Amino acid sequence: MTTIRLTAAQAMVRWLSVQDTEDGGAFIQGVWGIFGHGNVAGLGEALHGIRDVLPTYRGQNEQTMAHTAIAYAKASGRRRAMAVTSSIGPGATNMVTAAALAHVNRLPVLFIPGDVFANRAPDPVVQQVEDFEDGTVSANDCFRPVSRYFDRITRPEQIMTALPRAMRVMTDPATCGPVTLAFCQDVQAEAFDYPEAFFTPKVWRFRRPQPDQADLADAIAMIKAAKAPVIVAGGGVIYSAAEATLAAFATAHGIPVVETQAGKSALDFDHVLNFGPVGVTGATSANILCAAADLVIGVGTRFQDFTTGSWSLFKNPSKRMLSINVQGYDAAKHGASQVVADAKVALELIGAALGTQKFAADQGLRADWFAATAAVKAAPGAGNALPTDAQVIGAVQRASSKATVIMGAAGTMPGELHKIWDAAAGGYHMEYGYSCMGYEIAGALGIKMARPQADVICMVGDGSYMMANSELATAVMMDVPFTVVITDNRGFGCINRLQKGTGGAAFNNLLDDSYHVNPSHIDFVAHAGSMGAIAVKAADIPALEAALAQAKTAKVPMVIVIDTDPMPSTEAGGSWWDVAVPEVSVRAEVRAAREKYEAGIAAQSAVN
């Protein structure tokens, strides 16, 4: 057997560089890294040696550089991914939030945090977390509950089993998610005689699981017996590349489609059977159909509470649930009849069996909803009032095209964009599984890297921008342009509205309602400009539209700041959401909100 002597770190990156996909090209397209004593000497040296084949990118914060890698994978339809490495200690635990985000959203990313010394000779080393009762525990054990696969590399030969396991998880549609390989820092530098065959290039195929025939027959029978079915399209439609299949299936059989946050843009917004977003942030058109449906067909959705109105949305007492999903865990939720299969395969098989069966959908619902969204997005008339977030979205919509990808993550924007943004096919990227503040800037960078021809527009509130903005500097240095629209409502406007809606006093959300000595005077234009971005303040909606036009030709990120009113939100559409209100309070507003909450709970129980 021919061998080659390499350090464990050198062997790891060499192996990763030859893992290809059936689409062509490497699955791991690059490595994001911030170096410290736990990875600079071992993995850092190895990455330097292979930098022309496997590029390394330097982030500003471990969490946000991981967000960039995750957004890259999402924008690539999970067909490409990146690795992320940090030192041990705070660098590693900074990435735990990102790992949770990837886990919730079923997105592939390879975390390679440095770890303690396997030989334990210098223990305790700087940044080492010591468990007083378990000598095998390190800070990296925090990754265990938020990783689809976790391993600790304590010997150099272990990568020969750990790495293939990692790739299997990340390329399997059912298990896809984050993998953590905690890499002991002394082991990174240890040499081993690896078989040359270990580095033979391998092509990984993205499986399309076939359904069980009995489950398939049940699903076909359920649809044939239905009178008013509706399809709830989730992110699995997009990851299966089943958009065209879904459109053909819906068209052939006249079944209306509603979209989750992850599934929005699976169909072009103007497709005749796209009845809009569903649930808490949904369209009236979609929610009316769901309330009346006698068969709810979930395709690639995990039925999150925002999708189901906390399971109060599907009101038909005769309703039945059918769930098509590659992951049995998701397919079986709430007693649904399950088809555990690839979305594209399942829709093709079911569609062929349905033949010419066709249902009818009320097109008036779509027309009414488009009229309602057009009204809230319209430019405001003359006056001094601050614009609403919906009016800002309207301006961005008018400046967009089929090439635009609108993105966001937390606060007001996910709800408003889900409700009222007219998304072209493939033009919507929302991180709303974990709804992680701070994903936005880093995510926009990842999307643009994955889809360089796209017009990427990041919608972010001032609160999220303040939480994590440093990858803006990275985008400038890497010469990756995208547009950032900061809506400055001077605090956490979305949660302030929720606080008031549940009877609470305005407290600790808007900056003026928080404890401070000096009033806030945050200059977002100066801040973004200091990192090298083009930055402007838009005084009103016409100025915003002019700036958006300028952004189309910018060679680096352009940041546009506009002040908005923190109070209004789009009233049309939506559904009940289960947010517990205190049973006891001295505030009359809370007691009134509790009465409404109990009515919602009663309605939820009646439906289920």
- Structural element, H or E, at residue 69: helix 62-75
Q: What is the mean pLDDT of residues 433-444?
A: 97
pLDDT digits (tens, 9 = 90+) for 463-513: 999 999 999 999 999 999 999 999 999 999 999 999 999 999 999 999 999
pLDDT mean over 113-129: 93
How far apart are the two ends of the chain, measured CA to CA in Å? Answer: 63
- Sorting pLDDT into bands at 50, 70 and 90, what band is 384? low
Average pLDDT over residues 62-80: 98
Model confidence at 599, pLDDT cuts 50, 70, 90, reads: very high
CATH topology of domain 378-563: Rossmann fold (3.40.50)
Comparing 3-204 with 378-563, is the CATH topology the same? Answer: yes
| pLDDT category of residue 376 using cuts at 50, 70 and 90 | very high
Q: What is the residue-averaged pLDDT of the chain?
A: 96
The per-residue pLDDT for range 250-306, each reduced to its tens digit, is: 999 999 999 999 999 999 999 999 999 999 999 999 999 999 999 999 999 999 999
Q: Is the pLDDT of residue 1 over 90?
A: no
Residue 434 has pLDDT above 70, yes or no: yes
pLDDT at position 334? 87
pLDDT at 607 over 90: no
Amino acid at 426: G
Q: What is the mean pLDDT of residues 209-233?
A: 98
Q: What is the mean pLDDT of residues 357-372?
A: 94
Per-domain boundaries in the chain: 3-204, 213-366, 378-563
CB-based contact 28:19 (threshold 8 Å): yes
Looking at the domain that runs over 3-204, which CATH code has it been given?
3.40.50.970
What pLDDT score was predicted for residue 537? 98
Q: CATH 3.40.50.1400: does it fit domain 213-366? A: no
pLDDT digits (tens, 9 = 90+) for 9-20: 999 999 999 999
Read off φ and ψ for residue 144, nearest 5 degrees. Answer: -55, -50
CA 325, 329, 334, 337 dihedral sign is positive
Residue 534: count other Cβ atoms within 10 Å of its Cβ.
Answer: 20
- Take residue 415 and report the two structure tokens written for it: 């709800």
Q: For residue 203, what is the DSSP state?
A: E
Cβ-Cβ contacts under 8 Å for 74 (sequence gap 6 or more): 105, 107, 429, 431, 446, 447
In the chain, the percentage of residues whose pLDDT exceeds 70 is 100
Span 137-149, mean pLDDT? Answer: 97
Q: What is the 3-state secondary structure (H, E, C) of 287-335?
A: HHHHHHCCEEEEECCCCCHHHHCCCCCCCCCCCEEEEEECCHHHHCHHH
The arithmetic mean of pLDDT across residues 201-219, rounded, is: 97
Contact 310, 578 (CB under 8 A): yes
Pick from 401, 392, 389, 397: nearest CA to 370: 397
pLDDT score of 382: 74
